[in-house]
Amino acid sequence: MRNFLTAAAKVASLAALIASAAMRGLAGAQATTAACGPFGSPPVKLLGAVKPACADGERLGPWKDTDGTDRYACLYDASSAKPGRRLPLLVYLHPSLFGPWTIRHTNLLDLRATTSLSGEHGDPGYIVLAPQGRNTAHYYQWPDDRGMGWDNWYRQLSAAGNVKVGKTVYPENVDAATIDHFIAAAARTGRVDTRRIYVTGWSNGAAVAVYSGPDPFGALVDPCHQKPVSGKPASDAEVQIYNARVPVMLVHNSCDIAGICPNGEKLATELRDAGAKVDDVIVDASGKRVEACLDACGADPNGGLAFMHHPGAWLSGLHHHGEWPDEWTTAMLEFLRAHPLHPSAPPF
C-alpha cells in the first residue's frame, strides 16, 4: 500500500486534531441546519478555485463552470499507445484536501504499461484524466471541514442540465458538470475509445470503482441524508440515481477513518436496493479480503468515531485511509474492463 501522508504531515495533523477536538468539538464549516431540498443540501460554499500542477501530465483548462470558477484537469497519456489507436479513458477523482497529484501515490499510472482496459485480447494502455476539485466548505469534521474536494451533498446530477421541481429551477452540480466537460474534452482529441470511459476515486472522490469512500448520499454531519432510488422520489428524503444499472465496486478498510467501513456497507445496501450490482470488498490491515468491519473502529452506519474516546482505533483508521491498496488495483481495473458501455448506447 502507498501512503500519501508523510510522517511529518501526520504528526502535525494529529497534534492539531487533538487540540481542536478538545476546544471545538469537531464542528464543521458548513452550517449543520441546511435547508434540505429534493437534491439534498444547497451547493457548498465556494472558498476559491485551484490550479493543479500536473508534473509530466498535460494541464487542461481553464474552463469556467456555471458559477464562473476556473476549472482544470490533468491528462496523462499512455506512452505505449500505437499511432491512430483509441485507448480507454480512466477518470481519477482525488480525495478531499489533497489534489490530483495523489494519483502518484497509487499504481494507476504505472499499470498503464501492462494493463488493458480494452477487450479480452486488447493491447495494454489507457489514458488517465484527473480533474481538479474546488476549495469549498465540506460537511465533514475538522480538518476536512474545508479545502479541496467534491460537492457530494448537492445531488442534482442530471447530465441534461437544469431540472425544474415545482417552480424552482435547480442547476446541475458544477463539479459533476466539470468532470463531464473534461471527459468530453479528452474525447475530442480523437485518442479516446468512447465506449470505454471508466471512473475511479479515493475517499471523497467516490466513483464507480472507488477506494475508501464515504456514502455520498449520507455520511457524518451531512444534514440532508437521502436514500438513492431508481424511480421518482417519494419525498425529499429520496433522490433519483439516473443509471442504477451501472455496476459499482466498493473497496474499503475494515478499520477506516471516521467509521467509513459501516458507512460504506450502508451505501452498498442502498445501491442494491435501488437495483445496482455492487461488488463490496472489505480488506484488513494486510490487504486480505474479510467479511465484516471492525466494530472497534466505528459501528455507526452514518460513520463517525471520536478521537478522544477511541484514540487507538481513530489513529489506525487514519493510517489505513491514507494508503492506496496497490494489491487491489488490478482487480478494480479488471472490474472496470468487464463493464464497458453497452454497444447500443450512443457514443459519448
Which CATH number do you get for residue 287?
Answer: 3.40.50.1820
Give the range of the structural domain holding residue 18, as residue numbers without chain letter. 2-337
What is the rounded distance in angstroms from the CA atom of residue 222 to the CA atom of residue 260? 14
**Phi and psi at residue 289, to the nearest 5°:** -70, 135
Checking 208-211 for CB contacts under 8 A at 24+ apart, the result is 208/246, 208/247, 208/248, 208/249, 208/336, 209/248, 209/249, 209/251, 209/332, 209/333, 209/335, 209/336, 210/248, 210/249, 210/250, 210/251, 211/251, 211/252, 211/324, 211/325, 211/328, 211/332
pLDDT tier at 3 (50, 70, 90 boundaries)?
low
pLDDT for position 344: 56
Q: Is residue 343 part of a domain?
A: no
CA atoms within 13 A on the CB side of 174: 22
Q: Is 185 helix (H, G, I), strand (E, B) or coil?
A: helix
| C-alpha cell read off for 88 | 480507454
Q: What residues have CB less than 8 Å from 8, skipping those under 6 apart? A: none
What is the rounded distance in angstroms from the CA atom of residue 215 to the CA atom of residue 260? 8
**Phi and psi at residue 185, to the nearest 5°:** -65, -40
pLDDT for position 6: 44
User: Which value, in Å, is the radius of gyration of the alpha carbons in the chain?
Assistant: 19
Q: Which amino acid is at 121?
A: H
Q: What is the pLDDT of residues 232-281, one digit of tens each?
A: 999 999 999 988 888 999 999 999 998 999 999 999 999 999 999 999 99
Q: Is residue 346 part of a domain?
A: no
Q: Is residue 263 part of a domain?
A: yes
Q: Is residue 253 part of a domain?
A: yes
What is the rounded distance in angstroms from the CA atom of residue 322 to the CA atom of residue 39? 30
With 70 as the cut, is the pLDDT of residue 57 above it?
yes
Q: Which amino acid is at 35?
A: A
Q: Give me the residue label for grid cell 474545508.
A: 146
What is the rounded distance in angstroms from the CA atom of residue 136 to the CA atom of residue 39? 18
Ordered alpha helix ranges (H), the chain: 7-24, 174-187, 260-273, 311-321, 326-337
Q: Got the DSSP string for 242-302?
A: S-TTS-EEEEEESS-GGGHHHHHHHHHHHHHHTT--EEEEEE-TTS-EESS--GGG---TT
Q: Could you report how far apart the first and last alpha carbons of the chain are, in Å?
A: 34
Domain count, the chain: 1
- Whole-model pTM over 0.85: yes
What percentage of the chain's residues is helix, strand, coil (to nearest 5)?
Answer: 25, 25, 50
Element of type H or E holding 119: none
| Contact by Cβ (8 Å): 209, 336 | yes
Between 226 and 20, the more confident residue is: 226
pLDDT for position 122: 79
With 50 as the cut, is the pLDDT of residue 8 above it?
no
pLDDT tier at 24 (50, 70, 90 boundaries)?
very low
Q: Is residue 348 part of a domain?
A: no
Q: How many Cβ atoms sit within 10 Å of the Cβ of residue 25? A: 11
Q: What is the pLDDT of residues 80-126, one digit of tens each?
A: 667 778 999 999 999 999 999 999 999 999 999 999 999 766 789 99
Q: Which residues pair with 3 in a beta bridge?
A: 323
Q: Is residue 300 part of a domain?
A: yes
pLDDT tier at 19 (50, 70, 90 boundaries)?
very low
Q: What is the pLDDT of residues 293-302, one digit of tens each?
A: 999 999 999 9
Q: What is the pLDDT of residues 280-338, one digit of tens each?
A: 999 999 999 999 999 999 999 999 887 878 889 889 999 999 999 999 999 999 999 99
Backbone dihedral region of 323: left (phi > 0), alpha (psi from -120 to 50 degrees) or beta?
Answer: beta
| Contact by Cβ (8 Å): 101, 52 | yes
Largest CA distance in the chain: 60
Q: What angle do CA 152, 158, 206 make, to 5 degrees?
A: 30
